[in-house]
Amino acid sequence: MNPKHFALGAVVAATVAVTQVNAAHAQDAEPPFINVGSYAIAFPLGDTRNFVPNVSWFGANWEGQWRYKPKTSVGVSLGLQDFFDQTRGTTTFSSGAVTGQQSRELLLGTIMGIGRYYPGPTLGRGFYAGLGAGGQFAQQYYQLGVTNPIGRSAFHLAIAPEVGVVTPIMEGLDAVFTARFTATTSNGDYLGGGARSFKFITIAVGMAER
């Protein structure tokens, strides 16, 4: 099974499972736990854009948030973003140049601890600002024509400031809109030689079960 399909399935399954477990809390205005699943698109920056310049339309996130203080929650976030590009032409590397159809893919998986601050009267609703910190696993693929793909991977420390808005749409269910900037440490030995730092901006739309 393709890793990105497996990871997306895991995100969806986790969201559904936790939703069922927490159905009894749906009428609580400020529940002890909030379950969030979202779809995300991402805009590459820096080394990410140098390898794959295209916008990523394949992304998924799951978050679990626990009430910490009247206006603050803490939790965990799992994310997957897939960048892909296919072109024809000539690319020059340090070891020489190649010509033909070229496929590039960058699969980025993150796991972070998160903190959120909600200045409004209800925890988990309205505007919020947050910060995530944790790790990112990056898997890089390159394929020329029908040759076997070449892969590189590494683990990076990551940080992700974010802002968002949560608005109720029905009893026990909210719509979530999030903008996040993910930055990582430079690490690994990627294609072309040397370490890389894969940065990107994410815009996500999701649902929160209370």
Check residue 19 and give its pLDDT: 47
Model confidence pLDDT, tens digit, residues 95-124: 566 777 889 999 999 999 999 999 999 999
The mean pLDDT of 74-96, rounded to a whole number, is: 84
Structural domain boundaries in the chain = 3-209
Class of the CATH domain delimited by 3-209: mainly beta
116 close to 65: Cβ distance less than 8 angstroms: yes
**Comparing C-alpha atoms, which of 142, 201, 152, 208 is closest to residue 177?**
208
d(CA 88, CA 108) in angstroms, rounded, equals 24
Check residue 35 and give its pLDDT: 96
88 or 202, greater pLDDT: 202
The token pair at 161 is 């400031």
The mean pLDDT of 56-74, rounded to a whole number, is: 96
- Specify the residue for token string 């499972």: 17
| 156 Cβ neighbours under 8 A, 6+ residues apart | 135, 136, 137, 138, 184, 185, 186, 187, 188, 197, 198
**Comparing C-alpha atoms, which of 33, 29, 39 is closest to residue 75?**
33
Check residue 146 and give its pLDDT: 76
Own/partner contacts of 41-44, CB < 8 Å, gap of 24 or more, are 41/202, 41/203, 41/204, 42/81, 42/83, 42/200, 42/201, 42/202, 42/203, 43/200, 43/201, 43/202, 43/203, 44/83, 44/199, 44/200
Model confidence pLDDT, tens digit, residues 130-181: 999 999 999 999 998 878 889 999 999 999 999 999 999 999 899 999 999 9
The token pair at 104 is 């590039």
Check residue 91 and give its pLDDT: 66
Check residue 100 and give its pLDDT: 77
Model confidence pLDDT, tens digit, residues 5-57: 555 555 455 554 444 444 444 444 577 899 999 999 999 999 999 999 999 99
Instruction: Report the DSSP pairing between strands 33-46 and 58-69.
Output: antiparallel
